[in-house]
Amino acid sequence: MTYNINEKGYYGEFGGAYIPEMLYPNIEELRQNYLKITAEESFQEEFHQLLKDYVGRPSPLYLAKRLSEKYNTKIYLKREDLNHTGAHKVNNTIGQILLAQRLGKTRIIAETGAGQHGVATATVCALMGIECVVYMGEIDIARQAPNVARMKMLGAKVVPALSGSRTLKDATNEAMRDWINNPVDTHYIVGSVVGPHPYPDMVARFQAVVSEEIKKQLIEKEGTENPDYLIACVGGGSNAAGTYYHYLDNTDVNIIAVEAAGKGIDTGESAATSVLGKEGIIHGSKTLLMQTGDGQITEPYSISAGLDYPGVGPMHANLYKTGRAEFISITDDEAMTAGLELSQLEGIIPAIETSHALAVFEHKTFKPEDVIVLNLSGRGDKDLQNYIDYFKL
Ligand SMILES: *Cc1c(COP(=O)(O)O)cnc(C)c1O
C-alpha cells in the first residue's frame, strides 16, 4: 500500500491522463522520458546547483518561538518564502526548464491565474535564454498588473485569453491549443501537481526537495526526521506535495491539508474542493472538483488568488479519500487574521495562501510536546495591497 503514484499514473482511483487525441504525442514524449532524464547524474547536478546558487536553497527550517508559545506547542516554519521569486513555485519551473532543454525544446508556454506561476516561468526562461509565452485571462491581466509587468520585464510575452470567463481555466485552454499546434519545439510548464500524468508526479518530484530538506534539518534540531504533524495549504497542491512527499507512506507522521473556504463553505463563494467537490475530470486528470449537478465546473472563490482552483491534484484527492490527510477549510477572515498574527509575532509577512495554513492553530489544539512543520509557501509582498485594504492599514 502506497500513497504515492502507481506505474499507471494513478493515486488510488485518481490521476491518469484524460486528454484529447491531438495532445497524445506531447504527453507520451514526456511520459516516456521524464523519469529517465531526471535520474541522470548531470540533470541532478545542475538541478541541485541551481537550487543552491540561484534559488538560495536549502531554505531554513525556523523554530517560531513566539508563535509556538502562543499555541503551546512546537512550530517550525519551512521558509519557502525566502526562495528567489518569493515562493516554492520556482523549484518546479527550474526542474521543468532543465527537462525541456534536454528534450530539445526551444520554446516554453505556461498558463497563469494570479501571475505567480507566470513569473516563476518567465524567470527561468530568462535564466536559460529561452522564448516564453504566458497565457493569462483578460480579467486576471487587469487584476494582477504588477505580475504582468514582471513577466514583461523578464522578457516573456503575455497573451490574453479572451474566451469564456477570461480567467485561469480559459488561459489553460489557450495554452493547450498552443501546445497541440507546436508539439515539436514547445514544452508546456504546468504550475502545480495537476494536469494529465505525468505532470502531477513530475511536479511533486521537483517540489520533493522540500521534505528532503525537512528530514535533514529535523534530525539536526530534534534528533529525529519525523515531525508529529506536517501542515500546508492546498491550491492545486504543489507546496503541500513537496512537504508531504518523503513522508507519504510513514503514517507516524500526521498530514494536514488546508483549503480555502472563501466566505464560508455554504456561501457559494468558496474553494474548499475536498468538502464541496465530486469526482470528475479537469485538465486531463481524474480528481475531485467543484461542479454543478450536471457536471459544469463551478467558478471557485478565495481572497487568495493562489488557492482559487476548482480542483485539487490527484495525490490530494487520494489523501482525502483514504483519510491519510486531515483536510481543514479556512475562511478569508480567519486567514487574514492569521497572516497579521504571524507578522506581529515573528516579523514575517506571509502570502495570503500561506496564511490559510497558519490559521489551523486557531482550529485545532496540539500537544505541548508535538513537533509541527508548516510550509511557509510564500512571502506577502505580492499581497500587501490586499492586507492594506482588509485591515485599513
Ligand atoms: C501558488 C501558491 C500556492 C498554491 O499552489 P500549490 O500548488 O497548491 O502550492 C500556495 N502558496 C503560495 C505562496 C503560492 O504562490
pLDDT single digits (tens) 291-312:
998 888 888 999 998 898 889 9
In the block, cell 513577466 appears at 151
Question: Is 165 an active-site residue?
Answer: no
Question: How is the chain split into domains, by residue range?
Answer: 11-50+89-203, 56-87+208-391
pLDDT the model gives residue 279: 96
State how far the Cα of 161 lies from the Cα of 169, in Å rounded to an integer: 9
pLDDT bracket for residue 192 (50, 70, 90): very high
Question: Is 341 an active-site residue?
Answer: no
Q: What is the 390 CA–ligand 1 centroid distance (Å)?
A: 21
Residue 241 has pLDDT above 90, yes or no: yes
State how far the Cα of 241 lies from the Cα of 220, in Å rounded to an integer: 23
State how far the Cα of 350 lies from the Cα of 358, in Å rounded to an integer: 9
Of 359, 360, 301, 306, whose CA–CA distance to 335 is shortest? 359
Task: Yes or no: say if 56 and 84 are a contact pair by the CB < 8 Å rule.
Answer: yes
- Architecture of domain 11-50+89-203 in this structure: 3-Layer(aba) Sandwich (3.40)
Long-range contacts of 214-221 (CB under 8 A, 24+ apart): 214/61, 214/78, 214/243, 214/246, 214/373, 215/246, 216/58, 217/58, 217/60, 217/61, 218/61, 218/76, 218/371, 218/373, 221/61, 221/63, 221/76
Task: Yes or no: say if 353 and 377 are a contact pair by the CB < 8 Å rule.
Answer: yes
State how far the Cα of 327 lies from the Cα of 4, in Å rounded to an integer: 18
- Are 11-50+89-203 and 56-87+208-391 the same fold in CATH? yes
Q: Domain 56-87+208-391 carries which CATH code?
A: 3.40.50.1100
- Average pLDDT over the chain reads 96
The number of the ligand 1 atom at minimal distance from the alpha carbon of 191 is: 7
Question: Is 89 an active-site residue?
Answer: yes
DSSP state of 54: I
Exactly one of 74, 89, 169, 286 is catalytic; which is it? Answer: 89
